[in-house]
Chains A and B, each alone.
Chain A
Amino acid sequence: MQTDTTTPARVTLYGEWTMNEAAERLKLLAGELALLLEADPRPARAGIDLAGVASIDACGCQLLAVLQENLKRHGIAPEPCRIPPEVMEKIRLLGFAEAFTAGAPEKENA
């Protein structure tokens, strides 16, 4: 996972986002959040790129929802994007559709 420095404020996610990886993923997200908060000027928006997400479960959705709310609390608008169809289907089924379609276009160029 890395923050792509060539485009403004993007958090790119890879791999599995289930209970098993939750603790690891949290650490990464906390790091990403810290970076975003330290950036000067602070970005108004942060793209959350899910193209590389292999699978997600309720725990993963919860984690990403918490991340997004935290971003909002600090004045950064999260923009989830490039969500693979199967992942989106899961997200929808689990009841997180609102959180993941908030204002973001389906695709974004890198």
Chain B
Amino acid sequence: MQTGQQTTDRNGGAIPSEYLTFTLASETYGIDILKVQEIRGYDSVTRIANTPEFIKGVINLRGVIVPIVDLRIKFRVGEVSYHEFTVVIIINVLGKVVGIVVDGVSDVVALSAEQIKPAPEFGSALDTDYLTGLGTLNDEMLILVDIEKLMSSEEMQVMEQAA
């Protein structure tokens, strides 16, 4: 299915070539488009008690219960508000469907291997373990996130960890 050039990321996995870009405060991120199921607005979230602040709760996605995570709160970036333009990206990773709240969604971009560089170890909002690299497109820096690794990590508390 993948048609672009592929190299491997630091973990030896294939790097996807098309990314959905979104913004968290002033930074632009990209995630593998094939993991994106759909994009929605933010509404009717049912809170779950005793969960960390960044887990907003669950929604009803056409009969299926899906948890919603606010990355802005989790990574403490920018101001957090919810209005009619708030976007939730519904992603499908490891057989689970999860929604992530972001500030805004932009285009789908294709990146070639030359346009992607490994992420330096400096502290960014996200641990570099979750980054597949930094992309450059039209002078803009794109922080490419391994969304599957991130969402399945223990700190996100969304998925049961293997015993």
Does chain A touch chain B in the assembled complex, meaning CB atoms less than 8 Å apart?
Answer: yes
Residues on A facing B (Cβ under 8 Å): 2, 4, 12, 14-16, 20-21, 51-52, 54, 82, 84-85, 107-110
Residues on B facing A (Cβ under 8 Å): 1, 3-4, 17-18, 33-34, 36-38, 62-63, 90, 92, 107-108, 110
| A110 in contact with B1 given A2-B108, A14-B38, A16-B37 (CB within 8 Å) | no
Instruction: Determine if A108 and B3 form an interchain contact, defined as CB atoms under 8 angstroms apart.
Output: yes
- Which of A14, A20, A108 is the most central at the interface, judged by chain B CB atoms within 10 Å of its CB? A14
8 tightest Cβ-Cβ pairs between the two chains A and B:
A15-B38, A20-B62, A110-B110, A54-B37, A107-B3, A15-B37, A109-B3, A54-B92
- Which of B18, B38, B62, B63 is the most central at the interface, judged by chain A CB atoms within 10 Å of its CB? B38
- 14 A–B contacts, CB within 8 A, in A order: A2-B108, A14-B36, A14-B37, A16-B38, A51-B34, A52-B33, A52-B34, A82-B1, A82-B3, A109-B3, A109-B4, A110-B3, A110-B17, A110-B18
Instruction: Determine if B4 and A110 form an interchain contact, defined as CB atoms under 8 angstroms apart.
Output: yes
For residue B90, which residues in chain A have a CB less than 8 angstroms away from its CB? 15
For residue B38, which residues in chain A have a CB less than 8 angstroms away from its CB? 14-16, 54
For residue A110, which residues in chain B have a CB less than 8 angstroms away from its CB? 3-4, 17-18, 110
In Å, the complex CA distance between A52 and B2 comes to: 12
B1 in complex: contacting residue of A14, A15, A20, A51, CB < 8 Å = A51
For residue B34, which residues in chain A have a CB less than 8 angstroms away from its CB? 51-52
In Å, the complex CA distance between A100 and B49 comes to: 47
For residue B92, which residues in chain A have a CB less than 8 angstroms away from its CB? 54
In Å, the complex CA distance between A20 and B92 comes to: 18
